Amino acid sequence: MNKESFSESYKQAGVDITAGYRAVELMKQYISRTMTENVLTGIGGFGGLFEIPSGYEHPVLVSGTDGVGTKLKIAFLAGKHDTVGIDCVAMCVNDVICCGAKPLFFLDYIACGKNVPEKIADIVKGVADGCVQSGSALIGGETAEMPGFYPEDEYDLAGFSVGIVEKEKIIDKSKVRAGDVIIGLPSSGVHSNGFSLVRKVLDVENRDLNEKLESLGGKTLAEALLAPTKIYVKPMLELFKRVNVKGVSHITGGGFYENIPRSIPSGLGAVIDKKTVKIPPVFDLIRSEGKIDERDMFNTFNMGIGMSVIVEKDDVDSSLEILKKSGENPSIIGEVRVSDESVKII
């Protein structure tokens, strides 16, 4: 069988090889924006080569992997695919930064029912945007066309990040003490967790996602729900340079109650003053339409705080200043106390 007839037979089976080639060509312009001096290969090899940066005495590699989850269903319904890639990167690099590590490179995986090159390129554009925001190089990935496994107009998206940190500078929660202060960094909205609940309570499949809602400040539901997950890498790296950060939590699935305790040792707990948490309107909408009680909201969503940072009292003012100069709008949301409760919201 010659190449042309083979390609046609494969296409009849549901896989368009030429579409794959075109998708790669379209995405190259976005991938090129993420290249750093440590990347040793271009796109197209069997593996991405990345040289470990110099200047580390005892470098430790830190890895993280995650996906976008059912937030993708909102992208399908809205027909908007150029921001979910940011979510994919954010979910990984925000985890890596919690260890004190600087993200180095990223790989993505897209599985789809039908390879539409322009749609795949849109997805990768978002991934590249997230990589630029986090200083990561996009050194490889995979687009798998899987007819009969995924519906033609749907896809899944996941990614993998590797970062680096000097061993002695790894964030060590054992150093957290009672009296330490918890600083919160605002989220951009729902981020990429809890969307199975969001889709159910807001009945997104049966409502107009493009209707502007007063309760959302004039935004459409699609705009509010698809707001990309905020990437905290660069502000946090600036903070690490100048302040002894004792604990960092990425507020994802499980909200405050599951994530903040991951940065606090046993015997201590976080006391959060909910009056200091500025809750975005989208959460009020979810809470009211779903008739969800307050504790469950804080146990499911980020509620407006995407990352928490623990520092000593003496470092609070300088930490707030550094974060503000880095473009963040931080606030003191609580403190660490001796407690049997890992998190208490008052």
Q: Reduce the secondary structure of 15-30 to three states and give it as a string.
A: CCHHHHHHHHHHHHHH
Q: Is the dihedral of CA 60, 65, 68, 69 positive or negative?
A: negative
Give the closest residue to 200 by CA, choosing from 98, 109, 290, 291: 290
Q: Between β-strands 137-145 and 305-311, what pairing exists: parallel, antiparallel or unpaired?
A: unpaired
Tens-of-pLDDT digits for all 346 residues of the chain? 455 554 565 566 667 778 888 898 999 999 999 999 999 987 778 999 999 999 999 999 999 999 999 999 999 999 999 999 999 999 999 999 999 999 999 999 999 999 999 999 999 999 999 999 999 999 999 999 999 999 999 999 999 999 999 999 999 999 999 999 999 999 999 999 999 999 999 999 999 999 999 999 999 999 999 999 999 999 999 999 999 999 999 999 999 999 999 999 999 999 999 999 999 999 999 999 999 999 999 999 999 999 999 999 999 999 999 999 999 999 999 999 999 999 999 9
The CATH architecture one would assign to domain 173-345 is Alpha-Beta Complex (3.90)
Three-class SS state of 37: coil
- In the chain, where the domains are located: 3-169, 173-345
Q: Sheet holding 305-311: strands in order across?
A: 247-250, 305-311, 181-186, 331-338, 268-272, 343-345
Q: Please report how many Cα atoms fall inside a 13 Å half-sphere around the Cα of residue 212, on the Cβ side.
A: 4
Cα separation of the two ends of the chain? 71
CATH code given to domain 3-169: 3.30.1330.10
Distances (CA, A) of 128 to 32, 50, 68, 96, 235: 9, 17, 15, 18, 19
pTM of the model as a whole: 0.94
DSSP letter at 327 equals T
Which residue's structure tokens are 């405050």?
Answer: 256
DSSP 153: T
Q: What is the pLDDT of residues 255-287, one digit of tens each?
A: 999 999 999 999 999 999 999 999 999 999 999
What does the alpha-carbon distance between residue 245 and residue 332 come to, in Å, rounded to a whole number? 14
**Taking Cα atoms as reference points, which of 135, 137, 156, 178 lies closest to residue 38?**
137
Residue 44: predicted pLDDT: 76
